[in-house]
Amino acid sequence: MVSLFFIRVILSQHQRGAANGISMTWMSLFKAFGPFGGGALFSWGQSRKNASFLPGSEMVFFVLNMVEVVGLLMTFKPFLALPQQRG
């Protein structure tokens, strides 16, 4: 969900509904495709059991950790943006 800080400070009044709608749309899409992506990633990792670099389930955890790092970095993005001057 779009953070309350982002909605109240960064966006103007007429943009708040659109931001919330876009956020909910993306959340729903990721909830729908998440199990498929996780299953495909797990199957791919299991087919690599004899690989020399990141074999089996290690590949799954490596990819999930990279997704987590990107998510963590994107958490700070709204705090780095400056609000527009209202005049």
17 within some domain: no
Cα separation, 45 vs 55, whole angstroms: 7
25 within some domain: no
Alpha carbons within 13 A on the beta-carbon side of 37: 9
> 52 lies in which domain range?
35-73
pLDDT class of 18 with cuts at 50, 70, 90 = confident
Domains contained in the chain, number: 1
67 within some domain: yes
**pLDDT, greater one: 13 or 22:** 22
Tell me the per-residue pLDDT of 37-86, one tens digit each, with 9 for 90 and over. Answer: 889 988 888 888 888 888 888 888 898 899 999 989 888 776 776 666 66
54 within some domain: yes
20 within some domain: no
Q: Is the pTM of this model over 0.75?
A: no
